Structure 1
Amino acid sequence: MAPDLSTWGKCFANGYSISAVLGSASTRKGAEEIFVTGSFWYGATAMAAALETLKQIRETDYLERLVASGQRLRDGLQQQAASHGFTLRQTGPVQMAQIFFEDDPDFRLGYGWTAEAIKRGVFLHPYHNMFVSSAHTLDDIAATLSVTDEAFAAVKARRDDLKPHAKLVELLGRH
């Protein structure tokens, strides 16, 4: 069943600042009665990005490749974590997964793991969504998984020595 209204954000412009409200014909009359404006109303870059992104979605296998790459990464990380004795909690769409270590309230494992990956040339974020793009190839995903496996091993080896991120612990303590 189609919604009466749906809202869309940066996804249809490859991350650029843009939004849209789409509605059924039955909502059109109400929309004609209001005036809407925004900060980036005439942002040409976001408009151009939206047009090109929508073209890629229409004319290529862009979305299918993105989902396949994200799923391959997510599945690989889950298998690696288990093989090193960790449990991951992955949320969000596979194209922009957020990855946490189970039983890691102060993010010390997450920070340790991402730091180990960064040392090896792969940037991962310890507490924010990570984005797979259509520029990432299956070779890139394989290279990333090679690094993350090494990072899991390094964190396992020094698990007891990992210190929580002081600023994050302070912020978490306030809530």
Structure 2
Amino acid sequence: VEFEWNDLDGLGALLEKSGDEVAAIVLTPYHHAAFGRSEMPGEGFWNGVEELCRERGVVLVLDDVRAGFRLHDGGSHRMFGFTPDLSCYSKALGNGYAISACVGREEFRRSAGDVFLTGSCWNDAVAMAASLKCLQVAKEMKVVEKLDALGRRLGEGLEAKAKEHGFAIQMTGPPAMPFPWFEEDENLYLLQRFCGLCAEDGIFFHPHHNWFLCGAHGEAEIDEALAVADRSLSKLREERD
């Protein structure tokens, strides 16, 4: 069953209607569906979800695969001030190495220990060592703070350059994982054409998936991205006019 993101009343009604049939609620820390605006949680949303889960005995599972360790070095739930029962991580955890992890409360960890699961390459020591080092280095380099600052500069720069060329762009989602949205572009033509023009000029911006900044990016990369965006917006304006 599904409910609308940020609709706490809708979730409450769904749980009331479902009785004891709902075992778990699985959510991302913010809404980042493809082909649409990213949506941050409203005030009180996560605390409300957590309270409903506690009242109903429902397990709260955080899908932190995309956002994990990009918004907070302790997991995205710390940024939003709630505590899930289980959290799932991957992507930034291994910095390119194939690894994922599920962490959670002691009672769930004990239950997992009673289940026998195995695979030929499941215990990859290289990926585990890489992920431990990745988390250590990211914390030492203050990557979370760096991504936030660079993402804000990129987002503000794109909005300003779009305005200069007669377009209205709203950056959605957190600065470290931004996604632009052109006003009056419901079929995504402007966004896709803009991203295509940028790709032709050497910068890849995804046309229907949130973007990712990383620790390897710096001021020079943001400068280059904004310069390419400026040229591409100029071409887009010429095509439109």
Q: TM-score range by the shorter chain?
A: 0.7 to 0.9
User: What are the within-5 Å matches in structure 2 for residues 38-49 of structure 1?
Assistant: 41-49=122-130
Q: Provide closer, same or farther for how the CA distance between residues 39 and 84 of structure 1 changes in structure 2, counting only shifts above 3 A.
A: farther
Partner of 1:68: 149
Q: For the residues of structure 2 that align with 1:86 and 1:39, how far apart are their CA atoms? A: 53
Q: Provide closer, same or farther for how the CA distance between residues 30 and 145 of structure 1 changes in structure 2, counting only shifts above 3 A.
A: same
Partner of 2:168: 87
User: What are the within-5 Å matches in structure 2 for residues 137-156 of structure 1?
Assistant: 137-156=218-237
Q: Provide closer, same or farther for how the CA distance between residues 38 and 23 of structure 1 changes in structure 2, counting only shifts above 3 A.
A: farther
Aligned residue type for 1:90: M
Q: For the residues of structure 2 that align with 1:111 and 1:39, how far apart are their CA atoms? A: 41
- Give the deviation of 1:102 after TM superposition: 2.6
2:176 is paired with a residue whose SS is helix
- Give the deviation of 1:23 after TM superposition: 1.2
Q: For the residues of structure 2 that align with 1:91 and 1:69, how far apart are their CA atoms? A: 15
Aligned residue type for 2:224: A
Aligned residue type for 1:129: N
Partner of 1:20: 101
Aligned residue type for 2:225: T
TM-score normalised by the chain length of structure 2 = 0.58
The 10-residue stretch of structure 1 (110-119 or 130-139) with the greater mean CA deviation from structure 2: 110-119
1:142 is paired with a residue whose SS is helix
Aligned residue type for 1:54: L
Work out which of the residue numbers 87, 90, 105 in structure 1 matches 2:186.
Answer: 105
Does residue 9 (structure 1) correspond to residue 90 (structure 2)? The answer is yes
Aligned pair count reads 160
Partner of 1:57: 138
Partner of 1:131: 212
- Give the deviation of 1:106 after TM superposition: 3.0
Deviation per CA, 1:71-114: give whole Å up to 9, x if none: 21112112222232222243333223232323223332122212
Gaps of 5+ in 1: 161-175
Q: For the residues of structure 1 that align with 2:236 and 2:210, how far apart are their CA atoms? A: 21
Q: For the residues of structure 1 that align with 2:228 and 2:163, how far apart are their CA atoms? A: 16
- Give the deviation of 1:40 after TM superposition: 5.5
Contact 1:109 1:159 in 2 (8 A): no
Deviation per CA, 1:130-149: give whole Å up to 9, x if none: 22111111121012112211
Q: For the residues of structure 2 that align with 1:157 and 1:45, how far apart are their CA atoms? A: 51
- Superposed CA RMSD in Å reads 2.4
